[in-house]
Structure 1
Amino acid sequence: MALERVWKKSTYSGTNGGNCVEAALVPAGAAVRDSRHVRLGALETPHHEWTALVAAVATGSH
């Protein structure tokens, strides 16, 4: 049985309902999608790549 994904977006995105990036944890890492075009699917990335991206953004080294 597949688990339902819990999509999250940054609190900086506001409440306008669109033009945001959403992320969800998946067994192999993370999935990322465009909140305006959710029907187009999501890009999945391994855990080590997701944590490296989050660390780079958090430290400003992106």
Structure 2
Amino acid sequence: MMTNDLHTTATDTGVDEDAVLRLSETTEVSPQQAREILKRHRGNFERAKKEAEQFRAES
């Protein structure tokens, strides 16, 4: 049974598109960058958020 949380809308890329948008909006990285970061962290939002924040700080 699936629940309505951030991990229920995974696409064929294996990444939750709701999480992509949330990461993109909260860290100001592009949706494509957010998708790639989430892939690297296997959907772990907190780890992905830390990396995205570091990425933005460096740019």
Shorter-chain TM-score range: 0.3 to 0.5
Per the normalisation by structure 2, the TM-score is: 0.36
Structure with the higher fraction of residues in strand conformation: 1
Computing the radius of gyration over CA atoms, which structure comes out larger, 1 or 2?
Answer: 1
More contact order relative to length (CA 8 Å, sep ≥ 6): 2
Per the normalisation by structure 1, the TM-score is: 0.35
